Amino acid sequence: EPEVTQTPSHQVTQMGQEVILRCVPISNHLYFYWYRQILGQKVEFLVSFYNNEISEKSEIFDDQFSVERPDGSNFTLKIRSTKLEDSAMYFCASMRGSGNTIYFGEGSWLTVV
């Protein structure tokens, strides 16, 4: 069964450093998302991406964050200058089309020290 894959599974970074989280969505999917979850708490929407542009973003997704789909298969989330409060599990997700199920990856656990 196709699945969303994410790398790295865990990354520790120093405050102020740039981080790139990578995702390979399911191959025929058209909608892509990033969510985050702090310590087993609520899952929060960050950004959605469709047709090579951001379609919606939350207030969490400030100028520090960016997304890219550089090559038609990878979908990346960049955090330019990490803060302690960015420590969380980041989930990538994808959906084939309107009305379908959104499938999530296993997550990338980011620890900022």
Partner 1 sequence: AQSVAQPEDQVNVAEGNPLTVKCTYSVSGNPYLFWYVQYPNRGLQFLLKYITGDNLVKGSYGFEAEFNKSQTSFHLKKPSALVSDSALYFCAVRDDRGFQKLVFGTGTRLLVSP
Q: Which residues would be at the binding site for partner 1 (CB under 8 A)?
A: 31, 33, 35, 40-45, 48, 50, 55-56, 91, 93, 95, 98-99, 101-107, 109
Judge contact between 43 and 99, C-beta under 8 A: no
Q: Which residue type, as a one-letter code, is found at position 112?
A: V
- Nearest CB to partner 1, comparing residues 14 and 40: 40
Among residues 18 and 65, whose Cβ is nearest to partner 1? 65
Min dist. Cβ of residue 93 to partner 1 (A):
8
What distance in Å separates the CA atoms of residue 112 and residue 21, rounded to the nearest whole number? 14
> Whole-number minimum distance, CB 60 to partner 1, in Å?
12
Our CB check for partner 1 shows the closer of 18 and 56 to be: 56
Is residue 7 a contact partner of residue 106, using CB atoms and an 8 Å limit? no
On whether the CB atoms of residues 72 and 54 are closer than 8 A, the answer is: no
